[in-house]
Amino acid sequence: MLDLSLIKEAPEKVRLALSKKKIALDFNELLLADEKRRSLIVFVDELRSKQKQFSKELASLSPEDKTKKMTEMKFVSAELKKRQAELSSAEEEFRKLWLYVPNIPSEEVPDGDSDADNKEIKKWGTEPDFDFKPKSHEDLIGTLDIADIDRAVKVSGNKFYYLKGKGVILEMALMRFAMDKLMAAGFTPLMPPDLVRADAMYGAAHFPPEDDAYALERDELYLAGTAEVGLACYHKDEILKSEELPKKYCGYSACFRREAGSYGRKGGGLYRVHQFHKIEMFVYAKPEDSETEHQKLLGVAEVIMRELELPYRVVLNCGGDLGLPQYKKYDVEAWLPSKQDWGETHSCSNDTDYQARRLGIKFETKDGKKEYVHTLNNTAVASPRIVIPLLEIHQQRDGSVKVPEALRKYTGFDEIKVVR
């Protein structure tokens, strides 16, 4: 949630943010809604004040004056009821518009409409030069017998899958490998709820839009698309101590998403499935430290990619590829031999105080002041998103896949052989 004073005091700054993030919002409608809401608040407060004053005067009035005053106050009460209903409606109208106002992006964020306009800032590793025709991950999961998509379609429909055999062990190995890395870096592991309430989704700025999430309407719960929701809400309505910051958590969870996303344009198989598992990093930081913590989060992801021996690049996301809460975001992308293209594996965001304002999370400074924390997040590993380049990069001429050295103590095997 953006500081309301910015909307009033620096409207042009907000207009530019809307334009840079390609968000269609009638800014004049928002300002008019705010003006209407504030004028109704004044009106309602005046009517309530009249009621209170009447209650104080009642005992000292003569019977005749009391009857007259009672008649007058019936009109005040009726008017108050009417204006309260109008205020409730006006506040809801304003809230809906206000929730679409994005965080102001960093000046470093490039202009652009989509991920095609993101700016590459670094690369690591060499794109493999196979002396054979490399297979796609879709072909590899079949010949290695480590996933079954056809049977999952019978159970759940498109974009679901069964992991199978060594595919299951590989995913578990990736998760434990990443968890050990994060604990060594000072992150506290959490396993947050997969089902969350609407106010948690709004607080984490994953709503609006509401229709992207799977809803359990009977129970008024939603399936979270990432552990970020639970991690962001962990300290909801709390005041943290200055010396506690930064607080670092890593959340392991199932993730549920409706959208197909950018991977959906690149093929089938395990690309952008509706359900997957992920470890998410999350940091609560002091405002003056958030940029440093952002770079540290990016660095953790890069260490993971290097130890998995996956060539990658880092891109700075353009305005059109930023969500509502993001001030600045980096994507880490792995090389995909079968597509001769890059595919996102990590998304590293600095949301400044946008989430914290929605969730009421502050910290007490050394001089006793209360300020909103800054929140940051990044993927550690997401499967099968990381499995796709891992299979394609480490495939061998005979169709087997070599397991990176860093994972072998977790898998118990150093290659996945062809089964069929």
Catalytic residue among 171, 228, 253, 257: 257
What does the pLDDT average to over 220-241? 98
Catalytic residue among 136, 290, 338, 347: 347
**pLDDT tens-digit map of 1-59:** 788 788 778 888 888 899 999 998 888 898 899 999 999 999 999 999 988 888 888 77
Q: 166-223, pLDDT tens digit by residue?
A: 999 999 999 999 999 999 999 999 999 999 999 999 999 999 999 889 999 999 999 9
What is d(CA 133, CA 13) in angstroms, rounded to the nearest whole number?
52
| pLDDT (tens digit per residue) in 406-415 | 999 999 999 9
Rounded to whole angstroms, the Cα distance separating 96 from 139 reads: 46
CATH architecture of the domain 115-416 equals: 2-Layer Sandwich (3.30)
Q: Which of 302, 344, 383, 392 is catalytic?
A: 344
| Residue 337 three-state SS | coil
- Over the chain, what is the mean pLDDT? 93
392 is catalytic: no
Question: Which amino acid, one-letter code, is at 339?
Answer: K
- Domain definitions of the chain by residue range: 26-98, 115-416
120 catalytic? Reply is no
- Whole-structure pTM over 0.75, yes or no? yes
For tokens 């960093």, name the residue: 106
Q: How many CB atoms lie within 10 A of CB 288?
A: 8
**pLDDT > 70? residue 260:** no
Give the DSSP H/E element, type plus range, for residue 34. Answer: helix 27-57
d(CA 1, CA 103) in angstroms, rounded, equals 7
Among positive and negative, which fits the CA dihedral 198, 201, 207, 213? negative
385 is catalytic: yes
If you count them, how many residues does the chain have?
420
Please confirm, yes or no, whether 62 is among the known catalytic residues: no
| Active-site annotation holds for 344 | yes
